[in-house]
Chain A
């Protein structure tokens, strides 16, 4: 048994490398219509490091694939039994130590190279220390929504994470501590970083430093119960000034001019068992903080747009938007529902 000259394979190897890189590059165009959650369109250092490693791994595995696939195709075609076969058995070959050695040593070398590249990226992402200018966020996974706290800034919000842009002019990465209030969840914004799980009794952390402003999407990536599918993630990356303004707004308690009918309903029904509205008696912790509900684009962890219509629907019958969510149907009369929604719409 003899293997073909390796020059040919070098050539083919470089060809596949080019092909793989081109394909990855096509997927990687940030402006491409492929997907807002494309892992090959990184916009933050951890995601970019992973992307770089991915290209290397894809090139190596692509080259291996091409070599072995060609050998397989060649042997299937070349050594097929012909129509005019003489019926004699082919030469019986039992093995060859040299060949075995070759295809043991070469894969070992490839594995070593892959391992070194991988270990470097693991260290670069996991061992980055938190710089002083970093924003600190605590993300808490709940069935089936996200709670965000900014301990240094005194802000509590839900489902829509706001972070500043971190670019060459002003580096300000965001370090996120990850906790879970109930079951396992996973925080995954593909364009910003790989996923990290939120596990009860097992604090984790991760960091991002988005280079461009915009809305980055993702969703829970660890099965957490009935509504795992609609536990969506939205990260609003804002220029520093906008971010600071947002923080200022969020720090304010709810601005309620006069006690309204809707507020009375909110505070005398089960709403306050689960929801907080800062500056009022409502201080529940089980559901999202509603102090600045109307500053958010979505409700129900991204499952619906934050419109008065959807809000009414959500209070009336959450199962029509997100079946299995832990928000109970509030069983309000039409009049009370209207008043309550009107109150919620004042929580800006």
Chain B
């Protein structure tokens, strides 16, 4: 039993100048610092993407509103979608994976520290490049403008005929560049999990967090590559006279859809598997029980990984693929509900018979379970192709995927922020502010996204900058917009809590939650290279074994 680590004295940081500190952060290859860079970078973009969402909702608060022009509105939803997926959720999840995986598997760093730094800076450059389009992409009027082709940028709207100037190129190159960063990080995670585990930690004794991120990284490698290929093909079309997607010269608009969604749907699981990973760590600790059905959870994760590669065309039920293809994608789509359902049941069973503590991280995870259940069920509705012929591309879909991304992923992410904040900063967050954030966000989330389903059922398509009165959409849109302000208030409380606690919070113990995975054996915050002595483990909960020598886990696993 040598899971204890020696707390290294923190390096004397007080005497450094700002430039020295900056230089240290910019040139760092430490997985913890890169993790924090990813997270802070994502938080900045979260605020930007959130402001875009707020402007979109103000424009839609009533019919025939003219808060922004159609041109600006189209740029806003393009930038909102692209920003939130590629420059908020992906980086923040990579940040947590980077920070936590080595600590959880008892390693001193990622497998390739320099690749890690390279990947972060590529991703960061991608985001800055996308936003540089606002001043740099000369469009139709000779002024700068942002891309306006939508986040899935269907051909042939992206061709030079319909997209003049360079805004689409900024979009293309931003995703291309950040895609290299994503693939780099994915390779790094796979290598780290497979090669860097501490003695005794077999694959079957690895925390679920590491398993879920391993599958996620595999999916990134498989899914981001076709997107990268498609972006290059689009550039060839636009500048080298290619005709991949040029319908006027015999190209195919449908091929772009296939390329995009063979990326786009696994991408959903790239985002949601790390969310599952957070839930799989937080729920057991605050229920005081080990995760129920660990092997089944691993199996379900791997099953989700495989099945998610075969469902992409459920985004294309209205494209006219024919009855046979539609039927195939119905069954594959519905099949993925089974392993996902198994996961929900296992989390429930983990709570069953436990002693649940309603600390902020757990509150977010309970809300996640509830919301993800609904998101899954509306997903099944959309998976029934004929139902999708009605609901597809309506506000019902917008409500559905925000239920997944906000109600599922963002909620567990907030849980993760609060859960690991003491480890990362060495300070405790304010529980009062945390709970305030939770309730504001729950109210805002449900006002916005519950009621957003209804205009979809009543025939309101997405991506319209305004709508006609008399369609029964007005009231729902008003409620949806009101919810946004609660969410915004929640985010402000959240950011305030992080900043306040970082400077003024109480000092945190190494193990404030009485948890069981290796990161809690390290100092808070962990020193460079994490562990003075590489730990050896005998079970999935090494710290439980340490705390209960009379009743260790390895006797039962």
* Residue positions of A touching B, CB distance < 8 A: 1, 27, 33-40, 47, 49-50, 53-54, 57-58, 61, 64-65, 68-69, 71-72, 75-76, 79-82, 85, 89-96, 99-100, 103-104, 107-108, 111, 114-115, 117-119, 121-123, 125-127, 143, 178, 182-184, 186, 188, 190, 193-197, 199-202, 204-205, 217-230, 232, 323-324
Contacts and interface: CB of A to CB of B under 8 A. Distances in A.
Interface in B433-466: 457-466
B252 A49 contact: no
Contact of B389 (A36, A119, A193): A193
B529 interface: no
B391 interface: yes
A195 B250 CA distance: 25
Contacts of A197: 318-320
A202 B389 CA distance: 18
B349 A79 contact: no
Interface in B102-157: 148, 150, 154-157
A24 to B, nearest CB: 9
Contacts of A61: 377-378, 380-381
B461 A188 contact: yes
Contacts of A94: 290, 292-294, 556-557
Nearest to A184: B154
Given A90-B289, A107-B341, A123-B323, A79 B351 contact: yes
B25 interface: no
Contacts of B380: 57, 61, 114
B71 A221 contact: no
Contacts of A196: 318, 320, 389
B466 A85 contact: no
Nearest to B319: A197
B357 A81 contact: yes
A199 B557 CA distance: 56
A224 B393 CA distance: 12
Interface stretch (B367-375, B413-421, B487-495): B367-375
A182 B472 contact: no
A195 B293 contact: no
A79 B353 contact: yes
Given A79-B354, A190-B459, A195-B318, A226 B323 contact: no
A79 B390 CA distance: 42
B472 A38 contact: yes
Interface of B: 69-71, 74, 148, 150, 154-157, 161-162, 247-248, 250-254, 287-290, 292-296, 318-320, 322-323, 326-327, 330-331, 334-335, 337-338, 341-342, 344-346, 348-349, 351-358, 366, 369-370, 373-374, 377-378, 380-381, 384-394, 457-468, 470-473, 548, 551, 553, 556-557
Given A118-B386, A193-B389, A323-B69, A65 B293 contact: no
Given A196-B318, A201-B253, A39 B348 contact: no
A96 B292 CA distance: 8
B348 A107 contact: no
Given A39-B391, A226-B71, A200 B248 contact: yes
A182 B162 CA distance: 8
Contacts of A76: 351, 356, 366
Nearest to A182: B162
Contacts of A221: 318, 392-394, 461
19 contacts: A1-B352, A35-B471, A35-B472, A36-B472, A38-B457, A38-B472, A40-B457, A50-B387, A68-B345, A71-B348, A75-B352, A76-B351, A79-B355, A90-B355, A103-B341, A107-B341, A183-B162, A184-B157, A194-B389
A101 to B, nearest CB: 9
Nearest to A52: B386
A81 B322 CA distance: 54
A115 B386 CA distance: 11
A95 to B, nearest CB: 4
A114 to B, nearest CB: 6
A36 B464 CA distance: 18
Contacts of A91: 289, 353
Given A37-B471, A91-B353, A194-B390, A68 B70 contact: no
Contact of A64 (B253, B377, B393, B553): B377
Given A38-B457, A81-B356, A202-B252, A99 B349 contact: yes
A190 B326 contact: no
A116 B285 CA distance: 41
Contacts of B472: 33-38
B333 to A, nearest CB: 9
B55 to A, nearest CB: 16
B258 to A, nearest CB: 12
Of the candidates B70, B392, B467, B470, the one having the most CB atoms from chain A within 10 angstroms of its own CB is B70
Nearest to A127: B323
Contact of B250 (A111, A143, A183, A201): A201
B318 A223 contact: no
A37 to B, nearest CB: 3
A24 B356 CA distance: 37
A303 B296 CA distance: 55
Given A34-B458, A118-B327, 12 more contacts: A39-B458, A75-B356, A79-B352, A93-B292, A107-B338, A111-B337, A115-B330, A117-B384, A118-B385, A122-B327, A196-B320, A223-B150
A137 to B, nearest CB: 16
Contacts of B296: 95, 100
Contact of B381 (A57, A100, A224): A57
A101 B512 CA distance: 36
Contact of B288 (A33, A38, A90, A111): A90
